[in-house]
């Protein structure tokens, strides 16, 4: 922020920082300047010329978006000169714009409509020729009608500056200018659909939302995204109890104004391939061959009777929890199986101890990435595992004086990074000063890791080595650690003590006497470890049904209200949008009544923690962290550290069931064979 200077806006004196532009200064005093090309998060272009203002002493109106304020400047936003200039600009923009507002999907949300009414003229001097432009094929998400384009270049600047994919641009000049790809190819990016929100007219609209509804017909629900660990804020528009679209909701600390394509179209999996009835597996003789098939239960009473009988005959009980369950479901399952005498384990493996919050959650907010000076990635691909965090890292890289290093397989992050290789021994050499980068010193380094590191047996040793390397390079008090797990509530599971994936209790028990209750699993490998008496609660028909003895439907995150804790400890509420499905652990309700147990908690009690945010900031935790780093014996395996998540659009059941994301995944695999 620059020093405040005196500026007169419509003869009203105000003090404005010297680093702001005229359009930002007007917004500070509550004066709205019309704009098409200007956007707060994009670089200034000055193409549309609708933001003209009058500056005292200047013979012509000036563009307010690219004009910095000066001491003693007089700005007029509603003078006759400004009004006449804006009417002329609107008239030229409408010169080649088609008159198809009744069939345009942008109708009701169109900036050109609103500003033509507010600042335009009621008559036009052009009646004859309107140019026509051939539509472009930008992929399975973006519908293009380039004839409506007004050349604001928002989409181009977003592709170059934010997404890091330099596919969009302008060709030709003057009246023949066209926006599109230089060659015939789709716009491939994991955040490509944001150009739909950026486009001020109907040139770029959503293929999925086409001709579905008008803005005044939908009901808006403010919610959070549960496809990754960031917890991006979203708006869900519904019509007649049907989700039509998902759009980003501004949150400066998390997602700014962007949203990943995965979060935008994962809602389609909510109604696709859903499990509607409970099933159990039987064996029948067909053509003298033993075959297994799934048979639906006749009533809810029969499934409860069978499950209660199995629990009565079992010696041990085990509950395995998925990585995308809310805190209420986690607390409820923990309460149930503690009363039954069983234990609880997690779907994902985690070999990093949970004694210190910095070991299982991030110590900084996402917006604090801008303060860092270097970054070390330990077996994590932020472009896949935390897409919008990668946008923050790219923004910091563009500012300069930011070095990024990675340990693991080579990554395409849309910006430059230095890779040490696959072997963890490179990290050991860094800490012992046997690498040229060991001598580098930065004041505020970052350490980023994910499930690829925490699921290794030597993950804790490698994590501590990374901390030592980070601590040796910093010159001030700074604790910059980021963890990006695949689960949307892995941090909440850790706070509830439910993140351990291996239990010694069942080593002495016979496998055929264990009753395994699985709920919300996303990983096939976690199910392969189970052998007998498997009861699965899931929301979708998927690969895991073949091995289970009993299957029951459950609610998705859009059908249940619950709380989630994102990667840096922010507690957010996910609200119920639809009413469908069966509540979790419905089968066990009557059993607990028979056992005369106390009723399970109905909700996750935040009052136990006293605050609505878990944050690593206490001096005792930092002292304990330094003690662990100092005294820990490091044992690092020579097995390569690989960043392998697989298809980023199929990391959870809902996303894998979305038809739109399936098309996006197939399109990316055909173009970028190394992207997944």
Say whether both 407 and 367 belong to one domain: yes
Say whether both 343 and 361 belong to one domain: no
pLDDT in the model for residue 494: 86
pLDDT in the model for residue 237: 96
Residue that finishes a domain, picked among 32, 67, 93: 93
Q: Is residue 258 assigned to a domain?
A: no
DSSP state of 488: T
The rounded distance, in Å, linking the Cα atoms of 426 and 440 is: 16
The rounded distance, in Å, linking the Cα atoms of 621 and 375 is: 23
The rounded distance, in Å, linking the Cα atoms of 298 and 301 is: 8
pTM: 0.89
Q: Is 244 helix (H, G, I), strand (E, B) or coil?
A: strand
pLDDT in the model for residue 303: 64
Residue that finishes a domain, picked among 64, 93, 122: 93
Torsional class of 386: left (φ above 0), alpha (ψ -120 to 50), beta (otherwise): beta
Say whether both 462 and 371 belong to one domain: yes
Q: Is residue 205 assigned to a domain?
A: no
Are 596 and 639 spatial neighbours (Cβ–Cβ below 8 Å)? no
Say whether both 395 and 498 belong to one domain: no
Say whether both 363 and 449 belong to one domain: yes
Say whether both 464 and 604 belong to one domain: no
**CATH at 404:** 3.40.228.10
Residue that finishes a domain, picked among 93, 116, 133: 93
DSSP per position, 426-476 = HHHHHHTT-SGGGG---SSEEEEEEHHHHTSTTHHHHHHHHHHHHHHH-SS
Say whether both 480 and 621 belong to one domain: yes
Residues 6+ apart with CB under 8 A from 119: 34, 50, 83, 86, 87, 90
Beta strand 62-63 with 74-76 is unpaired
Q: Is residue 24 assigned to a domain?
A: yes
pLDDT in the model for residue 299: 52
Q: Is 553 helix (H, G, I), strand (E, B) or coil?
A: strand
Q: Is residue 650 assigned to a domain?
A: no
Number of domains in the chain: 3
Say whether both 408 and 556 belong to one domain: no
**CATH at 555:** 3.40.50.740
pLDDT in the model for residue 129: 81
Say whether both 312 and 367 belong to one domain: no
The rounded distance, in Å, linking the Cα atoms of 195 and 144 is: 11
Closest CA to 448 of 496, 384, 405: 405
Say whether both 593 and 565 belong to one domain: yes
Q: Is residue 105 assigned to a domain?
A: no
Q: 169: part of which helix (H) or strand (E)?
A: strand 168-171
Q: Is residue 163 assigned to a domain?
A: no
Say whether both 410 and 309 belong to one domain: no
Which residues span the domain enclosing 429?
Answer: 357-484+616-645
Say whether both 323 and 378 belong to one domain: no
Residue with tokens 């293009």: 144
DSSP state of 251: B
Q: Is residue 222 assigned to a domain?
A: no
Are 553 and 541 spatial neighbours (Cβ–Cβ below 8 Å)? no
Beta strand 168-171 with 178-181 is antiparallel
Residue 363 CB-density burial (10 A; 0-12 exposed, 13-18 middle, 19+ buried): buried
Token duo for residue 283: 């064996």
Q: Is residue 438 assigned to a domain?
A: yes
Q: Mean pLDDT, consecutive 10-residue segments, the chain of 676 residues?
A: 89 93 94 94 93 94 94 95 95 90 93 93 81 91 95 96 93 90 89 96 95 94 94 95 94 94 94 82 45 53 66 76 91 83 80 71 89 91 93 94 87 88 83 72 86 84 79 72 91 84 50 76 72 80 75 89 92 90 75 52 43 38 49 69 80 91 88 58
**Dihedral sign from CA coordinates of 506, 509, 510, 514:** negative
DSSP state of 558: G
**CATH at 50:** 3.10.20.740
């Amino acid at each position: 922020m620059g020093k405040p200077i005196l500026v007169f806006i419509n003869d009203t004196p105000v003090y404005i920082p010297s680093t702001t532009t005229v359009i930002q200064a007007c917004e500070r005093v509550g004066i709205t300047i019309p704009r098409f090309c200007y956007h707060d998060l994009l670089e200034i272009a000055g193409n549309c010329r609708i933001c003209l203002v009058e500056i005292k002493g200047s013979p012509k109106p000036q563009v307010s978006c690219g004009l910095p304020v000066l001491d003693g400047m007089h700005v007029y936003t509603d003078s006759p000169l400004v009004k006449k200039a804006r009417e002329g600009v609107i008239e030229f923009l409408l010169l080649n714009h088609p008159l198809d507002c009744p069939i345009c999907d942008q109708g009701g949300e169109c900036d050109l409509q609103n500003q033509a009414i507010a600042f335009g003229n009621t008559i036009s001097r052009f009646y004859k020729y309107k140019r026509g432009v051939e539509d472009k094929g930008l992929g399975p998400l973006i519908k293009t009608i380039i004839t409506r384009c007004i050349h604001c270049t928002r989409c181009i600047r977003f592709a170059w500056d934010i997404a890091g994919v330099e596919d969009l641009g302008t060709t030709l000049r003057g009246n023949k200018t066209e926006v599109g790809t230089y060659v015939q190819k789709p716009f491939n990016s994991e955040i490509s659909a944001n150009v739909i929100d950026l486009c001020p007219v109907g040139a770029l609209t959503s293929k999925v939302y086409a001709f579905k509804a008008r803005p005044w017909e939908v009901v808006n629900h403010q919610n959070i995204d549960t496809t990754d660990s960031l917890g991006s804020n979203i708006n869900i528009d519904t019509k007649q109890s049907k989700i039509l679209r998902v759009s980003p909701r501004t949150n400066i600390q998390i997602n700014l104004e962007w949203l990943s394509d995965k979060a935008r179209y994962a809602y389609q999996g909510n109604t696709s391939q859903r499990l509607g009835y409970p099933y159990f597996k039987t064996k029948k003789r067909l053509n003298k061959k033993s075959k297994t098939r799934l048979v639906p239960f006749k009533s809810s009473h029969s499934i409860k009777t069978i499950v209660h009988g199995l629990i009565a005959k079992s010696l041990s009980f085990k509950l395995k929890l998925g990585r995308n369950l809310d805190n209420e479901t986690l607390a409820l399952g923990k309460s149930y199986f503690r009363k039954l005498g069983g234990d609880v384990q997690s779907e994902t493996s985690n070999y990093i101890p949970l004694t210190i919050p910095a070991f299982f959650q991030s110590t900084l907010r996402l917006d604090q990435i801008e303060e860092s000076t270097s970054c070390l990635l330990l077996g994590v691909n932020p472009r896949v595992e935390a897409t919008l965090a990668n946008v923050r890292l790219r923004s910091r890289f563009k500012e300069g004086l930011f070095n990024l290093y990675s340990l693991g397989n080579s990554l395409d992050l849309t910006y430059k990074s230095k890779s040490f290789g696959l072997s963890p021994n490179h990290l050991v050499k860094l800490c012992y000063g046997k690498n040229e980068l060991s001598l580098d010193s930065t004041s505020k380094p970052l350490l980023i890791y994910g499930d690829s590191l925490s699921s290794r047996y030597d993950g804790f040793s490698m994590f501590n080595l990374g901390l030592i390397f980070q601590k040796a390079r910093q010159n001030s008090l700074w604790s910059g650690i980021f963890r990006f797990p695949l689960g949307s509530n892995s941090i909440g599971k850790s706070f509830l003590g439910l993140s351990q994936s291996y239990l010694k209790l069942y080593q002495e028990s016979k496998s055929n006497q264990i009753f395994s209750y699985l709920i919300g699993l996303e990983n096939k490998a976690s199910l392969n470890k189970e052998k007998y008496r498997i009861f699965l609660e899931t929301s979708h028909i998927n690969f895991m049904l073949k091995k289970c003895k009993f299957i029951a439907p459950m609610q998705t995150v859009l059908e249940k209200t619950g709380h989630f804790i994102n990667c840096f400890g922010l507690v957010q509420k996910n609200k119920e949008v639809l009413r469908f499905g069966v509540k979790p652990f419905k089968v066990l309700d009557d059993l607990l009544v028979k056992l005369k147990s106390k009723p399970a908690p109905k909700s996750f009690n935040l009052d136990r923690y006293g605050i609505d945010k878990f944050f690593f900031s206490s001096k005792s935790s930092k002292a304990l962290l330094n003690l662990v780093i100092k005294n820990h014996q490091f044992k690092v395996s020579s097995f390569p550290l690989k960043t392998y998540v697989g298809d980023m659009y199929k990391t959870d059941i809902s996303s894998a069931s979305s038809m739109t994301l399936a098309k996006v995944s197939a399109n990316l695999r055909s173009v970028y064979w190394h992207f997944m």
